Amino acid sequence: MQTSLFGHDAPEIDLAFHRVERIQLDRESWIDRQPGWVSGHARLFETLREAMRWHAQERPMYDRVVAVPRLLSVVPRDGAHPLLDAMSRALSRRYGEPLSSIMLALYRDGRDSVAWHADKELRDQPTSTVAVVSLGSPRKFMVRPAEGGASRSWSVGWGDLMVMGGACQRLWHHAVPKQRHAEPRMALMFRIHRPSVRA
């Protein structure tokens, strides 16, 4: 896997969020973006890929059952890596919500993807916050209005942070589309813990 400069350093996060940029999608919805929020991303990627228990899942689609095109892992409540706990604390402090539920998704190659969607547990909430840290090689991250309209996209990877806030889950959908050639990418997703949330 190709990595950007300094990707193999000891992993650290920018606790001060020095380079975060807010992107206003509409009057109620926004995305905070900070490229390279995690330094040493390559080492963290390899550590988590080896340490986590990855699961393949299936879901019904029309009249058949299909494989979910990515691997998933839920971080235990006592943590899997001290930096994940540090990320959760830093994000919770900044956004004023306990973002203590952590799920990981591994996109093995360009065939792995996630279709247009909003988070089921959050799309009926007036506002919510979901933070996504991308490790590994960049992939396209897209958003578009839930009622239809033009999409926007960013290339995310190499330790980038994307935070969807405000009414994002209620008014917008997001996706990571398939692409012809792609090296592995891992998404670390931080949300409010809800007992009903399923992997």
Q: How far apart are CA 106 and CA 120, in angstroms?
A: 20
Confidence band for 197, pLDDT divided at 50, 70 and 90: very low
* pLDDT number for residue 174: 98
Helix ranges (H only) for the chain are 41-51, 82-95, 168-171
For residue 53, pLDDT beyond 70? yes
What tens digit of pLDDT does each residue of 120-179 get? 889 999 999 999 999 999 999 999 999 999 999 999 999 999 999 999 999 999 999 999
Q: What is the pTM of this model?
A: 0.90
- C-beta separation of 130 from 87 below 8 A: no
For residue 1, pLDDT beyond 60? no
* pLDDT number for residue 4: 52
Rg (CA), the chain: 16
Q: For the residues 81-108, what does the mean pLDDT come to?
A: 96
* pLDDT number for residue 193: 76
Domain total in the chain: 1
Confidence band for 5, pLDDT divided at 50, 70 and 90: very low
Residue 127 lies in a domain: yes
CATH assignment at residue 30: 2.60.120.590
Residue 163: enclosing H or E segment and its boundaries? Answer: strand 160-166
